[in-house]
Amino acid sequence: MAGLLERLLGLAAAETLGPDTTVPIEKGRYLVVDTELTGFDRKKDSIVSIGAIRMDGKSIAMSDSFYQVVSPRTELTAESVVVHGIMPSETESKPLIDKVLHEFLEYAKGYVIVGHYISLDLSFIGREVKRVCGKTLKTPAVDTMTIYEWMKEQTSGPRGHHGAVVQDMDLFSLARKYRIPVSGAHNALMDSFVTAQLFQRFLCSLPELGVKTVKDLLKIGRP
Say which amino acid occupies 141: A
Beta bridge partners of 68: 50
C-alpha 84/C-alpha 70 separation (Å) is: 13
Tell me which H or E stretch contains 195.
helix 188-205
Cβ-contact 86, 76 below 8 angstroms? yes
pLDDT at 24: 97
- Whole-number pLDDT of residue 105: 93
Assign 3-state DSSP to the chain and report helix, strand, coil percentages, each to 5.
50, 20, 30
Which pLDDT does position 3 carry in this prediction? 52
Q: What is the pLDDT of residue 22?
A: 95
φ, ψ of residue 149 to 5 degrees: the values are -60, -40
Measured CA to CA, the distance from residue 120 to residue 95 in angstroms comes to 22
Q: Which residues of the chain have pLDDT under 70?
A: 1-17, 78-85, 157-167, 184-185
pLDDT for 7 = 52
**First CA to last CA across the chain, in angstroms?**
37
pLDDT digits (tens, 9 = 90+) for 162-211: 433 345 889 999 999 999 998 766 789 999 999 999 999 999 999 999 99
User: What burial letters (b/e) apply to 168-177, b meaning 16+ CB within 10 Å?
Assistant: eeebbebbee
Fold of 17-221: Nucleotidyltransferase; domain 5 (3.30.420)
